[in-house]
Structure 1
């Protein structure tokens, strides 16, 4: 989908870059669209999450991340917009009458058929199967980290993981972050690359659109007038941060400090991510 650079007729459009994708309008599917609640405890003066708000009121689409409807063929009935994620979603009608939403990979069109199986599946976009039964070098998304828990890896727009090796009961994957990791061979994964990869190149142009998405404005720590409000607070014209290195509002080093816990998963990581 080509990017659209807007004419600078207003200040908000001057730096805006977007892309437009047409979606077919259809009625809501009962049971697959549920309402969302707003922020909790805001009426008592507490902040649930800093720099975040509800944004525009929207409904949640129930996505099938587990793909546990095995060996039943489904037909793609529509490709829809989902306000809760960057990628599109596909509506699947199964032969037994059930309807489900799945993440939409590139190359999956209306009228195509998809299937999920614990056995061998055809490695075409939208089909789901164990890592052990998928060929080397195939691009996958919605990968399970633990068997039966549902896909947790490579679910964002344009993301995919690459199957690089198979060794006994483990498969080696290169994740979107660049990390190379071993996963259990019977974890499920869906074939294909998620669509809307152009979303990384768009520019919103103004803060108002970010506010619709639930992103509130941030205040720099040095701009706080009171040191009790932030460790960087106080007079910043002469002192700046006033420390050897910047810290978070709770005193944790903010740059270069590793916060990841040393857990038992270290033995499954072959190569760390570069970032």
Structure 2
């Protein structure tokens, strides 16, 4: 397990010793679609500390309903490969930033309200006293 500065989760090198057999598709159209997307790598649920749940698996078709972290239910192909568990680094969003510089190190810039600006800088700026804009 190693730290990667380019992502929010920890990474590890895993080797699968036994190859898994993919079930055969029901017809040629779904097989062509599966060949396009199977084996491409992670597309969903990649941030640190989040997970998805399988809500329903259908018997006759190779599809299942997955609940994403945003509480949206999505219909996906059940032949896709998945990693079991939660993406590592659960405390990623819970770190306390002690000063403004730590926020700047993460690439976050300060946000200034338009009302606090001068009239040349923003349409809501200027005026003698506070205005609604």
TM-score when normalising by structure 2: 0.73
1:223 aligns with 2:116: yes
Higher helix share: 2
**How big is the shift at 1:222?**
1.4
Please provide the CA RMSD for this pair. Answer: 2.6
CA distance in 2, matches of 1:88, 1:206: 25
- Superposed CA offset, 1:56-97 (max 9, x none): xxxxxxxxxxxxxxxxxxxxxxx11111222101134x5xxx
1:200 aligns with 2:102: no
1:150 aligns with 2:52: no
* 1:46-85 correspondence to structure 2 within 5 Å: 79-85=1-7
User: Which of the pair has more CA radius of gyration?
Assistant: 2
CA distance in 1, matches of 2:84, 2:104: 34
Q: Which residue of 2 aligns with 1:232?
A: 124
CA distance in 2, matches of 1:237, 1:205: 33
Mark the runs of 5 or more structure 2 residues left unpaired by the alignment. Answer: 24-35
TM-score when normalising by structure 1: 0.38
Aligned-partner SS, 1:197: coil
CA distance in 1, matches of 2:122, 2:93: 32
Q: Which residue of 1 aligns with 2:26?
A: none
Higher strand share: 1
1:162 aligns with 2:53: yes
Mark the runs of 5 or more structure 1 residues left unpaired by the alignment. Answer: 1-78, 95-113, 121-129, 131-145, 243-275
Indicate conservation of the 8 Å contact 1:147/1:188, yes or no.
no
CA distance in 2, matches of 1:119, 1:87: 29
CA distance in 2, matches of 1:180, 1:115: 33
CA distance in 2, matches of 1:186, 1:81: 30
- Aligned residues between the structures: 118
Aligned-partner SS, 1:209: helix
**How big is the shift at 1:115?**
5.5
Aligned-partner SS, 1:190: coil
Q: Which residue of 2 aligns with 1:189?
A: 82
Question: Which residue of 8, 21, 27 maps to 1:119?
Answer: 21
Q: Which residue of 2 aligns with 1:173?
A: 66
- Superposed CA offset, 1:232-257 (max 9, x none): 323383313x2xxxxxxxxxxxxxxx
CA distance in 1, matches of 2:42, 2:93: 22
Indicate conservation of the 8 Å contact 1:169/1:184, yes or no.
yes
